[in-house]
Amino acid sequence: MKARAPRALVTGLMWLQQREAAGALRHTCEQGEGQPRYGWLQHDGDAFGAQEIRERGLLLRTEFLKRPGGEHGGDWSWRITALPDPGTGTDTDALLSLFFYVATDGQGTLQPHVEDGARLASVTGSTEELGSFNISFLKPTTETGAEPKYASYHYLDAASPGLHLLTELVRGSLSNAELAAHAAAFERRFEDTFGLARKGFAPAQQRFAQAALSNLLGGVGYFHGRSVLQAEHAEEPVLSAEAELLTAVPSRSFFPRGFLWDEGFHQLLVARWDAALSRDVLAHWLDLMTAEGWIPREQILGEEARARVPPEFVVQRSGSANPPTLFLALQQLLAADAAPLPYLQRLYPRLRAWFHWLNSTQAGALPTAFRWRGRDAPHERLLNPKTLPSGLDDYPRASHPSADERHLDLRCWMALAARVMGDVAERLGEPAEPYRHTQRQLGDNALLERLHWAERLGAFADYGNHSEAVALERRPARADPAAPPQLVRVVRRAPRPQFVDALGYVSLFPLLLQLLQPDSPRLPLLLDALRSEQHLWTPFGLRSLSRASPLYMQRNTEHDPPYWRGPVWVNVNYLALRALQHYAAQAGPQRARAARLYAELRDNLVGNLFRQYRDSGYLWEHYSDSTGRGQGSHPFTGWSALVVLAMAEQY
């Protein structure tokens, strides 16, 4: 646990179950075999939270409470409850060691106060941000208030090589009555905000939704440090200036850092709960902008963050964009009248610079066309060069990257950005017509069709230098004939300029971002593809790529399994629900059909996510399109937590 400051006081908890074999010392959130099951049950994003950790016969419950007041924001208290958990089917008699720590980051003072020569009773000290402070560690008690039958105490006062070795949580003093009052207040506020009980959801489903929101809020963190940036024409990457970021994260265990396009989706939910917090997060992200208007898509600030990122992803390259989903979050704040004019005035210069950077650096070869910069270079091991800047990573694009590509999803994102920029400019009395002009151009359905309608595919698509006849085949290694055969890319037919034969999430973007007119002749064709079980429909949500696509569930390399080539992703399904509800409310020939599809898709998505959470204890990064089982990193309570808004029907 630490304050929002570059050199904060840090407090935390580690634990160890002592058995005959050496136990694992638990500290940071990790992912893998044998890891504990953990997650926030309740978290209000500000002053209260309750988390459970279950592991091999042990149930740990961590609860925190903030009491406002004083010169530095108030007091923080933690309670750690350790109980046997016979439901795990393992021995519950192991000795348990809890390690509480207090540390400063290279400044300030710490003074331990020890009772009976061994028990750390309190720590006093001072830091630049907090001034003087006192942390008290109360003696542990049983559930009846008595002292434990067996307990021993030890303490260590030592220097640590860095805060990246430490993490969160603090042992404190909490009263049962105060915790109960906060828990009840959380539940009342949750129901007032999302109304799930009124909608008929069972108590278990309501607790699931509360946990989803709480884990997203509990993952909000303060990060400080330097990024590694590579300018477009520079020979070597350099460290950025020091920066700070308040942001949610996709996964505390696997992605414990800020991702630009994820954050826009995160804030759709956070803003419903706490608009002020959401405004603060958006402002932090926009403050990361360079003088040119570029925002690095992945924020890996400082040594601690870099230690958990594969080297190939550390460097952020200045030509690469990311879907500008922050405009989605800002659009919602505007619609809720939760973006005061002084706030918009501070944001506007940065929003204007960001939009200009996107509109100029990502422009395509034709007017109103756009192209993601930063695709992977062609390589004999890559089935289809990735487009990481798009956020859709391995989603099939033109087989042979070129400057003539036209990327449909980016064009639709820019239409959304132009619309929101026009809305902000009008509220501020700034010139809005340049943005409205761009909005009209990119929203022109006839022009959209000329650039992106693939008649043979019966859907919208990317365009580029493409061959349908590309596959990975095992061939002898060129450098060492004695080595095992390797998967290499084989092109059986030369590429030519054409639409990309991939029907999937990208094909839906004119619908997802509501660019199609309600009476568009293309709308029923997209709804056909959406509802077709051969293409995108599953009992668990919309799959990311049609089963009829040549690259459906195909690996991209020997060691790179399919990612956006079939699995069900919650963020895009949320956009689909949002769009279907929109078309169900518009006068047009597809109105009734959109309403039916909306109801079916919502039931499928919410039902599967609840079942998977009930069975595994987690929200997942994505879900199998054939079984519905959770896949990828977990817990993934970033955009998968949008299931709360789907349950509440808040779009």
CA atoms within 13 A on the CB side of 462: 32
CA gap 558, 472 in Å, rounded? 9
CA gap 308, 158 in Å, rounded? 25
SS3 call for 585: coil
Active site residue 262: no
CA gap 446, 92 in Å, rounded? 68
Phi, psi of 9 (to 5 degrees): -65, 135
Cβ atoms of 404 and 580 closer than 8 Å: no
Residue labelled with tokens 């590579």: 230
Q: Which amino acid is at 251?
A: S
Q: Nearest Cα to 201, choosing from 610, 605, 573? A: 610
CA gap 402, 588 in Å, rounded? 39
End-to-end CA distance of the chain: 33
Q: Nearest Cα to 382, choosing from 462, 477, 472? A: 472
Looking at 131-283, which runs of residues are DSSP E strands? 131-136, 221-225, 228-230, 238-239, 243-247, 258-259
CA gap 588, 581 in Å, rounded? 13
Residues 6 or more apart whose Cβ sits within 8 Å of residue 632: 567, 620, 621, 622
Q: Nearest Cα to 98, choosing from 156, 43, 153, 38? A: 153
Which residue among 85, 168, 621, 625 is the active-site one? 621
Which residue among 393, 449, 468, 649 is the active-site one? 393
Residue labelled with tokens 């956009």: 575
CA gap 223, 150 in Å, rounded? 40
Q: Nearest Cα to 568, choosing from 528, 612, 523? A: 612
Give pairs for 300-303: CB < 8 Å, separation 24+: 300/227, 300/228, 300/257, 301/223, 301/224, 301/225, 301/226, 301/227, 301/243, 301/244, 301/245, 301/257, 302/223, 302/224, 302/225, 302/226, 303/162, 303/164, 303/225
Active site residue 621: yes
Residue labelled with tokens 């108030």: 74
What tokens appear for 602 in the block? Answer: 């919502």
Burial of 336 (0-12, 13-18, 19+ CB in 10 A): exposed
What tokens appear for 320 in the block? Answer: 């690469």
* Positions marked catalytic: 393, 621
